[in-house]
Structure 1
Amino acid sequence: MLISSFFLVACPSAPKAPFDYRHVQAGKWRAKVEIDIKGKSKDHTLTINFKSIKAEKKVRADISAILGIHLASVVVDGNSYQALLIKKKIYREGRGNHQLIPKEVFGVAIDLRILPAVLYDESINAVGWVCHSDGKGFLQDCDNATERTRLEVTGRDGVNKSVKLLGDGYSINFKFDNFSPDERFTEKTFNLPIPKGFKRI
């Protein structure tokens, strides 16, 4: 019995072949996100549920604390975004070729063009970004020297993957642990109505 137990502990299951997200057209993802900001004594951990339609360049992120408390929702639609900041009762929106998801969401401002790359393993198609793939064609990393930002895919196991975003004074680790293809989204999915009592900025 002792020998058998030792064998089970010493021989974990082999990693699964990486899932190819480049062929996904729409779906739902879940990620545990660890945020480390220089100068802050405590790391920040969130759960994010993503919904996205690739061809329409739409991404929705519903962000919660580990205990399930809803903190924020963000919708990216091409080069524009909407954001609801629940605790502060604030609604934000922005448009243009180079928009940042507001600092209140993650603790640091993030280029919204990063999200499709994180979900679909695609190169960031924007000025200043240079991306590389591994020997099997999977996205490996992307760098923006001007903005001192780097995106790295640090692990893959079936549909699960780990992605690290490194910037000036911060690191954000996305640990994806759930995915399901889904194309049954409606216009309401990617629209954030302003709740009563929220301030529009």
Structure 2
Amino acid sequence: MKILWRQLISLMQGLFLLTAALFLNACASKQVVQEGPLQKAEWETKALIRDMKDNKTQSVTIDMQAIKNQRVRLDVTAMMGYQVASLVMSPKEIAYAIYPRKEYYYGKSSEKSIERIMGLSLHPMNLANIAFDEPVRGPGWICEQDGSKILSKCENKQRSIRVEWKDRTTEGQKKVVITAPQFEMQWLFKSPQTEVQFKPETFTLKQPDGFKAIQIN
């Protein structure tokens, strides 16, 4: 009986070591090796957005696809995959659909163009700059680096808007906190997927059927 029990324990230990080895190998295979500055990538992110003015808090998932300084697509969903909004943008143009309202906006990309979604006066291309760990751009913005010469904070004191990068990992995960009067966004990024090939239609967004079209001036 003792011999059988020892054999069983030995077998269980062997299975545990094999499972642990497979788990570690799987984790290693998921790590993203980043060599040099990113030029294009995909991110899976989650955001907790607080609207202090209306005393509302919303948790959303934001999938981002971007080519640095050129094109960006954001798809925002709430719980159970409920579509909230889709946005495509370039430095000069933007189009987005707000699904609950059945509204489609299009026109010039500017600091005012996404206030209807976020309640934040910020050029929408800066959302991609944040993902790429690039400085927030525009009049009045001043950025700082930490002791490792890594971007850590950008602030526009005139508008009382601040962007802070926190909790970075070597795999590219991070937390970004955006604060403004009556607004706060805690934005959690998973490791970026860098081996991506975007189709031309990725960065186009047509007016959905039944949606009201509103031009942004």
Q: Same fold (TM over 0.5)?
A: yes
* 2:165 equivalent to 1:153: yes
Q: Name the Cα RMSD after superposition.
A: 2.2
Q: TM-score, normalised by structure 1?
A: 0.82
Unaligned runs of 5+ in 2: 1-32
Q: CA deviation at 1:122?
A: 0.7
Q: CA deviation at 1:52?
A: 0.1
> Which structure has the larger Rg over C-alpha atoms?
2
1:31 to 39, 45, 50: 45
State the secondary structure of the residue aligned to 2:131.
helix
The aligned runs of 1:1-201 (5 Å cut-off) are 23-56=37-70, 58-95=71-108, 98-157=110-169, 158-201=171-214
CA distance, structure 2, for counterparts of residue 166 and residue 101 of structure 1: 18
Q: TM-score, normalised by structure 2?
A: 0.76
Q: Deviations over 1:78-104 (max 9, x none)?
A: 1321111111111102315x3334334
Unaligned runs of 5+ in 1: 1-18
CA distance, structure 1, for counterparts of residue 166 and residue 121 of structure 2: 22
State the secondary structure of the residue aligned to 2:192.
strand
Segment of structure 1 superposing worse, 34-43 or 64-73:
34-43
Amino acid at match of 2:176: V
1:43–1:77 Cα change, 3 Å: same
State the secondary structure of the residue aligned to 1:135.
coil
1:163–1:21 Cα change, 3 Å: farther
Q: Deviations over 1:169-196 (max 9, x none)?
A: 1110101124201441122111101111
State the secondary structure of the residue aligned to 1:196.
coil
> Which residue of structure 1 aligns with residue 17 of structure 2?
none
Segment of structure 1 superposing worse, 161-170 or 111-120:
111-120
